[in-house]
A and B are shown apart, each in its own frame.
Chain A
Amino acid sequence: MQNDTDSRLRRVRGPVQPKRHNARTIAALTSNPGCARRGVCDAAGVDKDALAGRVGFPARFGQSQFAITRGNAFEAQVKANGCAELLTLLREVLHLDITEVGYTDLEEAGGNDSQDVRHAYSRRTLLAAAAGRDDAGTLFDHPLLRMDVAGNGVYLEPDLIAFQYAGIFHVIEIKSFAVIDGQADGGKVASAAIQSAVYVQALRTLLGSDDAVSSDIVLVCPKDFSNKPCATKVDVRKQLIVLQHQLNRLARIDALLDALPAGVTLDLAKDDAGQPVLSRAELVQALGCIEARYSPECLASCELAFFCRDEASGQTAALGKSVREELGGVETVATALGLAAGSLLPSDEQAEITALLRAASRIYRESVAAA
Chain B
Amino acid sequence: MSAITSYARAVAVAEQAAQPIATVRHVHLADRPLVFVPLTLAGEANAPLAAMVGTSEDQPTLLVVPQPRDRDQRFAFAGELADLVVGYLNSCCGAADEIKGQVCYRAAPQLLVPNPAGIGFVKLFGRSTRFRSTTGPYAVTPHVPLLGRWLTWFAERAEHPGSANLLAMTELLSMHWATGQSAVEDANLAAQLGWISPPPGRTGPQAAREAEDPLRWPPAGPTTDPVFDNEILAPAIRSYSGTEPGSPGQARAVERLRHVLHGQLEPTWRLMWRGLAKLRELEPGASVEGRWINDRLRFTSFQEYVVNGGLPQARRDGAIAAARRLNRLERAQVEYDVARALDDPLVMANHRAAGEAFLGTVVEVERERRITNANGNSVTRPLVVLRTGDPVLIGRGAEVKAVSRQSQKAVVVSVDRQDDAVLVTLEMQSGFGRSKTPPPGSVPEDGETLVYTSVLSDSIPSPRLPDAEDTPWTHGGPPQPYVPSDDDATEVWE
Report which A residues bind B (CB closer than 8 A).
60, 62-71, 176-178, 180-182, 222, 224-228, 296-297, 299-300, 313-314, 316, 318-320, 322-323, 326-327, 333-334, 336-337, 340, 355-357, 359-364, 366-368, 370-371
Q: Which residue of B lies closest to A335 (CB)?
A: B10
Contact, CB under 8 Å: B185 / A296: yes
- For window 178-215 of B, CB contacts with A under 8 Å fall at 180-185, 205, 214
Q: Would A176 and B6 be within 8 Å (CB), given that A320-B184, A364-B349 are in contact?
A: no
- Interface residues of chain B, those whose CB is within 8 Å of chain A, are 1-11, 13-14, 20, 23-24, 41-46, 124, 127-128, 180-185, 205, 214, 224-227, 229-230, 233-234, 315-316, 344-346, 348-349, 352-353, 359, 389-391, 491-494
What is the distance, in angstroms, from B414's C-beta to the closest C-beta of chain A? 21
Bound complex: CA of A357 vs CA of B316, how far in Å? 46
Which of these, A180, A314, A355, A370, contacts B127 with CB under 8 Å?
A180
Asked if residues B359 and A359 are in contact (CB atoms below 8 Å), the reply is no
Residue contact B42 to A67, C-beta cutoff 8 Å: yes
**In the complex, which of the residues B2, B3, B42, B494 contacts A66, with contact meaning CB atoms closer than 8 Å?**
B42
C-alpha spacing A176/B42, complex, angstroms? 11
Partner of B226, one of A63, A323, A340, A362: A63
Is there contact, CB below 8 Å, between A334 and B14? yes
- In angstroms, how far is the closest chain A Cβ from the Cβ of B485? 14
CB-CB under 8 A for A364 and B230, given A66-B41, A182-B316, A314-B13? no
- 17 further contact pairs, Cβ within 8 A, besides A326-B5, A327-B7: A64-B224, A65-B234, A66-B41, A66-B44, A70-B43, A176-B43, A181-B315, A227-B492, A228-B492, A319-B13, A320-B183, A323-B6, A323-B9, A333-B13, A362-B389, A363-B349, A367-B345
CA distance A320 to B42 in the complex (A): 28
Contact status B230-A65, CB under 8 Å: yes
Q: How far apart sit A367 and B181, CA to CA, in the bound complex (Å)?
A: 22
Do residues B45 and A367 form an inter-chain contact, with CB atoms below 8 A?
A: no
**A366 and B359 contacting across the interface, CB-CB below 8 Å:** yes
Contact between B230 and A64, CB atoms less than 8 A apart: yes
B348 touches A367 (CB 8 A): yes
28 A-B interface contacts by CB (under 8 A) = A60-B214, A62-B225, A64-B43, A64-B226, A64-B229, A66-B233, A66-B234, A70-B44, A178-B46, A224-B45, A224-B492, A225-B493, A227-B494, A296-B184, A299-B185, A316-B10, A319-B9, A319-B181, A337-B10, A337-B14, A359-B390, A363-B349, A363-B352, A364-B7, A364-B346, A367-B348, A368-B20, A368-B346
Contact B229 A65 (CB under 8 A): yes
Q: Which residue of B lies closest to A316 (CB)?
A: B10
Q: Report yes or no: B353 in contact with A360, Cβ–Cβ below 8 A.
A: yes
Smallest beta-carbon distance A324→chain B, Å: 8
Contacts A65-B230, A224-B491 given; does A367 touch B14 at CB 8 Å: no
Are A297 and B184 in contact (CB-based, < 8 A)? yes
**C-alpha gap A178/B8 in the complex (Å):** 40
Partner of B1, one of A323, A334, A370, A371: A323
Q: What is the chain B residue whose CB lies nearest that of A71?
A: B43
Residues of B within 8 A of A68 (CB): 43
The reply to whether A180 and B45 contact each other, CB–CB distance below 8 Å, is yes
For the complex, what is the distance from the CA of A222 to the CA of B2, rounded to whole Å?
Answer: 40
Greatest chain A CB density within 10 A among B1, B41, B205, B227 is at B1
Instruction: Return chain B residues, CB-CB under 8 Å to A368.
Output: 20, 23, 346
Q: Which of A62, A182, A363, A364 contacts B390 (CB 8 A)?
A: A363
Q: How far is it, in angstroms, between the C-alpha of A370 and the C-alpha of B343 when the chains are bound?
A: 12
Q: Which B residues touch A65, using CB under 8 A?
A: 229-230, 234
- Inside 8 A of A60's CB, which chain B residues have their CB? 214
Tell which of A64, A176, A314 has the most Cβ of chain B within 10 Å. A64
- Distance to closest chain A CB from B199 (angstroms): 21
B1 and A181 contacting across the interface, CB-CB below 8 Å: no
Whether the pair A319, B182 counts as a contact (CB closer than 8 A) is yes
Q: Closest CB-CB distance, B72 to chain A, in whole Å?
A: 14
